[in-house]
Amino acid sequence: MVILREGICPGVNEEFIKALQSEDIKTVEDFVSCNPEELAQKCSLSYKALVAVRRVLLAQYTAFPVSGADLYEELLSSTAILSTGNPSLDKLLDSGLYTGEITELAGSPGSGKTQVCFSVAVNISHQLKQTVFYIDTKGGMCANRLLQMLQSKTPNMEEQMEALQKIKVLRVFDVFSLLACLQNLRSNGLQKASVGGGSVKALMVDSVSAVLSSMLGGKQNEGMSLLMQVAGELKMIAKDFNIAVLVTNHVTKDGNGHLKAGLGQSWSHGPRTRVLLQRIEGAGTSSLRTATLTKSSRQITGFEERNDLIMDK
Amino acid sequence: MEFRNDCAKINEMTARVRMAENGAQLVSRLEGRQSLRDIEPNIFPVDGGPGQGDVVEFHGLEGTGKTETLYHLITRCIMTVQSGGLEVAVVFVDTDYHFDMLRLVSVLEGRLAEGSKEGDGSENESEERVRSCLCRLSVVHCNSSVQLLLTLQYLENTFSSQPSLGLLIIDSISSFYWVDRFNGGESTVCQEANLRKCAELLNRLRRNYGIVIFATTHAIMRNYGSDPGVSEVPGSSSSSSSRRWRSADSATDFDKPYLCKAWQRIVTHRMLFTKSHVSKDHKQVFSTACTSIMTKGVKRCSFHVMEDGIKFVCDK
C-alpha cells in the first residue's frame, strides 16, 4: 500500500491530504479507485485538481504496456547464453545459463552444488571475461579453491588475478540482509559495477534455502512472504539487467520417496530450469555425480548426465 | 443498506454516461468485441467457449502446461484471419516475470509456417508477418498488487479506446498472495483488500467492455484428506470455497481454491491442468479438465508440448 503524503506529487499539499482523510482516503489505491466527480462533491477540493493529481499518480505508479514487437526486438539483441565450462552440464541446460532467467541447482549436502557454482563463476570470469556477483549465505566461499581452479586453466598470474577480481563476493547470513543486498544491487550496485568496464552477466546465490528454510513452516506468514519477495527480487534483477541468476537449494523427499527441490510449491514457480545433483551410489568418495534435468521449458526433462566435478584434472 | 447500495449503483451508472465519451469509445462500448467462442474447441466444452465477458481460470501445479496453453491461445488470437487466427489484440499482464517472448515467437513461427503455402515468401517476409502479429500484443510487467490494481485502472482507458482489444490475460493473479497475506496482518479483510479491488475492477471491465479474461493461478494449497504429507501453511483462511467447482475431478491434491471470494464469484470457467502419464514414445502427456458454470459436466483433453507449440491428443 502506498500512503498518500505531502509532496508525493505536485499539487498534493497538507490541506489536500486533510480533505481526503476526512473522506477516509489514506492510500494511493483508495484515491485512484474513487470517482473524482463524487469526491469533488463530497469534499472541498476542486474537480480539476483531483483529476490532475489522479493522472500524475497513475503515471507514476502504473506499469506501462510495451508492444510485443518492441519487446521481441529488445530481447533478440540482449539475451545471451553463458556456457558453464562443463560440456555435459551445458548439454543439460541447452547450451548454458540463459540471461533473464533463474536456474536452480538442487542437491543434498555434499552433492557438489557449491563446486559447480565455483566452476561456473571461474568460467564466466576467466573465459567470458564478465563480472560475476556471488552471494554467499553459508560461508562456503573459499578464494583458495577459486585460485586452484584458475591455476589449472592458465599459468599466467596476471590473468588469474584479473579473473579473481571479476568475481565479487557478498556475504549475508539471514534473509533480511539478503533482501537488502538484492535491493541494493538492483538500485545502484549493478550499474556501478558495469561502469567500471566489464558488464555483470551473472549472479549466484549459494544457497537460497539456507536463509529461507528456517523462516518457513508452522503458522508463520512472514516466511512465505519473504520467500516470494526474494523470488521477486531475483526475477526483477534477471530481467531488468539481463543477468543469468543461478541459485542453489536443498532437497526433500516427496510422498513417493523421490527427491525434489526444497522450499515448497510457491518457490518452485520461480526458477525456469532445475538440475538435480546426486552422488552415485556405491562410488565411495569419488567425485563423480549425476545431474538430472528436472524442470525445463526448452528440453525434455529426465535427462541424466554423469560428470566429474573436479575440474582441474 | 440496500437502498443506499442501489443509489450508489445508479449514481455510478449515470456518472459513467455523464462522463464525456467520444465517438470511438461509444462505438466500442456498444458494438461489442470479436467473439472468442471458437478460440480452441479442443479444451473448452461444446457451446461453452469463452464468450464476451467470460473469465477463465487456469489452475495447476508448476510445469503442467498453463503458460504453454496461453501461448497457444495468444497465437490464435494475434494471427491474421488468412493464417487461421482471429485478429484480436491481446493485453498480457505478467506478474512474475514469467513471460518468455522467445518461446512465444517460436510457437508463432511454427503456426504461421503451418498456415502458409509452400515456398510462400522469403525469410524477410516471414519476419514481417511475425512482427505484424506481435503488434497486436502488448505486455505489461507488474511487481506488486498495488501496481496491478493501478495498472488495471490505467488499462481501462486503453480498453475503451481500442475496440480491437478483446482479450486480457493475467499470468498469474495469485503471485502476490503470500506477500499480501503478510502485509495485511491478522485481518483477512485487509489481506484480501487489493485482490478484491482488482476483482471488482475486472468485473467492471468485463461487464462494460465485454472483454474475455484469462487468468492463471498457481496451485499451492494442498487439499487435506487425500495425502497427509508435508504441506504449506494451513489454509484456514478465505478459501472455504464454492461448492460449484467440486464436480470437477479432484484427482490432484492441489486444486483447492484459495483466492478471495470476490475473485471466485466472477470466474465462469475453470480449467485444471495436470501432468499425466508418459506415453509410449516417451512424450509427457498433459491433461486439462474444464468446467464452466454454464454447461454441465467436464470437458477433458490431453496434449503434448512440442518444439512449436501444443499438439492435442483428443479422442473425442
Question: Do A162 and A243 sit in the same domain of this protein?
Answer: yes
Question: Do A39 and A144 sit in the same domain of this protein?
Answer: no
CB-CB under 8 Å, B140 with A221: no
CB-CB under 8 Å, B141 with A63: yes
**Alpha-carbon gap: B47 to the closest alpha carbon of chain A (Å):** 31
**Does the interface predicted TM-score (ipTM) exceed 0.85?**
no
Residues of B in contact with A61 (CB under 8 A): 146-147, 150
The answer to whether residue A134 is domain-embedded is yes
CB-CB under 8 Å, B158 with A35: no
Domain hosting residue B197, numbered range: 2-315
Write the pLDDT tens digit of every residue in B189-204: 888 888 888 899 999 9
**Nearest Cβ partner for B151 among A28, A38, A62:** A62
Instruction: Tell me the pLDDT of chain A (313 aa) as tens digits.
Output: 778 888 777 777 888 888 888 888 888 888 887 888 888 888 878 888 888 888 888 888 888 889 999 999 888 888 889 998 888 888 888 888 999 899 999 988 888 889 889 989 999 998 888 899 999 998 888 888 888 888 888 888 888 888 888 899 999 999 999 999 999 998 887 777 766 566 888 999 988 988 888 888 777 678 888 998 999 999 999 988 889 999 999 998 887 888 888 888 888 888 888 998 888 776 666 677 788 888 777 776 666 777 665 544 3
- 3-state class (DSSP) for residue A200: strand
Question: Do A217 and A293 sit in the same domain of this protein?
Answer: yes
Question: Do A169 and A111 sit in the same domain of this protein?
Answer: yes
Pick the residue from chain A with its C-alpha nearest to B132: A69
The answer to whether residue A5 is domain-embedded is no
Question: Do A167 and A216 sit in the same domain of this protein?
Answer: yes
Residues of A in contact with B176 (CB under 8 A): 228
The answer to whether residue A313 is domain-embedded is no
Question: Do A118 and A182 sit in the same domain of this protein?
Answer: yes
- Which cell numbers hold the place of A131? 563480472
What count of other Cβ atoms lies within 10 Å of the Cβ of residue B116? 16
Question: Do A32 and A95 sit in the same domain of this protein?
Answer: no
Question: How many domains does one find in chain B?
Answer: 1
Question: Do A125 and A254 sit in the same domain of this protein?
Answer: yes
The answer to whether residue A4 is domain-embedded is no
The answer to whether residue A69 is domain-embedded is no
User: Is residue A80 less than 8 Å (CB to CB) from chain B?
Assistant: no
Question: How many domains does one find in chain A?
Answer: 2
CB-CB under 8 Å, B140 with A66: yes
Domain hosting residue A28, numbered range: 14-61
**Nearest Cβ partner for B151 among A63, A272, A300:** A63
Pick the residue from chain B with its C-alpha nearest to A218: B233
CB-CB under 8 Å, A29 with B135: no
The answer to whether residue A1 is domain-embedded is no
CATH number of the domain encompassing residue B248? 3.40.50.300
CATH number of the domain encompassing residue A221? 3.40.50.300
